[in-house]
Amino acid sequence: MAKQILLNVLQDVLGDFVEGLESENLKLGVFSGKISLEHLKIKTEALQNLSLPIEVRHGSLKKLGLLKMMEF
């Protein structure tokens, strides 16, 4: 259940930029605070809207890792 909630949040945040946000490629480290997304495809049309001085015809992310910052 928590995984699906997190997946929904990630879809809202990253969904305009990448394809492939599914539970199969989302790995969670509950106690470590690590989140790993694997095998994502970059949406080229989203990058074109950023008006960057580059042209992306195809792109993929093998692995995207997110870490929770610990507060003391």
Please check whether residue 38 lies inside any domain of the structure. yes
Please check whether residue 52 lies inside any domain of the structure. yes
pTM of the model: 0.71
| Domain range for 14 | 2-67
d(CA 42, CA 33) in angstroms, rounded, equals 25
Quick one: which H or E segment has residue 34?
strand 34-42
Please check whether residue 72 lies inside any domain of the structure. no
The per-residue pLDDT for range 3-61, each reduced to its tens digit, is 888 888 888 988 888 998 888 888 887 667 788 889 999 988 887 878 888 888 888 98
Please check whether residue 13 lies inside any domain of the structure. yes
Q: Structural domain tally of the chain? A: 1
